[in-house]
Amino acid sequence: MASFLARLAGALRMVTLAGPYLFAWFLSDILLTLTIPFSAILPRQTYDFNSKIANFLWTYIHRILLLHKPQISYSGAFKDIPSHESAIVVANHVSWSDFYLVHALAIEKGMLSRCRYFAKSSLKWVPLLGWSFVALGMPLVSRNWTNDQSELEKLFGSMIRNKWPMWLVSYSEGTRYNPQKWQNMKTFAEGKGKKILTHCLYPRTKGFVTCVRHLRNPDSHIKHIYDLTLAYQYTAPPTTTTTTTSSSSTTTTLSTRPTINLTPATIYDTFSMPSLSPPWRFHVHVERFLIKDLPEDDRGVAEWLEKRWLAKDEILKGLDGEWTEFEGLGEVGYFATP
């Protein structure tokens, strides 16, 4: 009965919080769609106006997250990132909730409204939702790079010409990490003679190479790459077993070992649970690089990204063993929660 009441309370909590947010999202999508005709004649003004709408929506949903008391820590080059600096942002992909961790960093650095994500090009045909992505300047790609080339050239041309402040965010693996996709990656890695990663998948490099190629432009205001390693630690509730004999009854409680990135928080969890920490803890490890320091050729850039994923896997292994006590993280801090 208690379990049923807890689930009912969670469902009511989600409806109460998600309903007004979805309504605000719907109205914002209409407004964003209406700005599309102005983007050709007033590109910078339209971009700035739409960024304010994005800031409203993303601040709204982040405040909903904070109501659920998440413990989000950070490490690495967090303090080296200045406020309002544009960058390419690459990250491993674990869950729908990943954007919360990206946004926690973006809020601290004054770039929440300027986050733009690579998304599937098929979404452009979805009324309102897809049109709002177009209005916000999201890169819409099909992963057919012959077809995507003109779309990306147009995007980067506008971005550089108008000096749009931006965090251009890419989940470079192209899909979410889970045991089945890890098994597929293992088979791929064994066939190619590559090292088998433990807590993430190999990145798809073509999109990243294209970004770097365009943003090497001396006129580009985007000079840096941020490499974010996203981690979710989940500790399942203890299990209790009772052994009964003719003369006695013994109850044993067994604690469970925390897991990394196997059971991330879902959209339902982030709206329905009164407290996210425990059972979850969240972490963002940040590295910052100059684009000009990357190899000059496309193959070298692709290999550089793969090496970043090898380093990322080592960070995740350390988090799996010691969480934020892992000495490879450097100084650890925490994002503020209410």
pLDDT given for residue 251 in this prediction: 55
The answer to whether 287 and 76 are in contact (CB under 8 A) is yes
pLDDT given for residue 145 in this prediction: 65
Between 280 and 336, whose confidence is greater? 280
Greatest extent of the chain over all pairs of C-alpha atoms, in Å:
86
The answer to whether 137 and 155 are in contact (CB under 8 A) is yes
The answer to whether 75 and 101 are in contact (CB under 8 A) is no
Residues 6+ apart with CB under 8 A from 255: 238
- Within 204-275, residue ranges assigned H as helices are 206-215, 267-272
pLDDT given for residue 107 in this prediction: 97
Quick one: tokens of 1? 């009965």
- pTM here is 0.92
Helices 298-322, 206-215: crossing angle, 10 deg rounding:
120
Helix, strand or coil, per DSSP, at residue 279: coil
The answer to whether 166 and 178 are in contact (CB under 8 A) is no
Of all residues in the chain, the percent with pLDDT exceeding 70 is 92
Q: Of 20-34, 66-80, 122-136, 181-195, which range is least confident?
A: 122-136
End-to-end CA distance of the chain: 31
Between 94 and 248, whose confidence is greater? 94
pLDDT given for residue 45 in this prediction: 94
The residue written with tokens 């209005």 in the block is 135
250 pLDDT exceeds 80? no
CA pair distance 189, 206, nearest whole angstrom: 18
The answer to whether 76 and 228 are in contact (CB under 8 A) is no
3-state secondary structure 80-102: HCCCCCCEEEEECCCCCCHHHHH
DSSP 121: G
Greatest mean pLDDT among 19-33, 111-125, 281-295, 313-327 lies in 281-295
CA pair distance 53, 31, nearest whole angstrom: 9
CA pair distance 120, 142, nearest whole angstrom: 6
Of all residues in the chain, the percent with pLDDT exceeding 90 is 67
pLDDT (mean) for 16-30: 92
Quick one: tokens of 320? 């799996």
What tens digit of pLDDT does each residue of 267-310 get? Answer: 899 999 999 999 999 999 999 999 999 999 999 999 999 999 99
Please provide the size of the chain in residues: 338
Alpha carbon separation from 281 to 184, 253, 321, 331 (Å, rounded): 27, 23, 14, 17
For residue 211, report the phi and psi dihedrals to the nearest 5 degrees.
-60, -50
CA pair distance 54, 113, nearest whole angstrom: 5
With bands split at pLDDT 50, 70 and 90, how would you rate the model's confidence at 247? low
CA pair distance 216, 156, nearest whole angstrom: 11
pLDDT (mean) for 104-109: 97
Q: Establish how many alpha carbons lie within 13 A of residue 336's alpha carbon, considering only the half-sphere containing its beta carbon.
A: 3
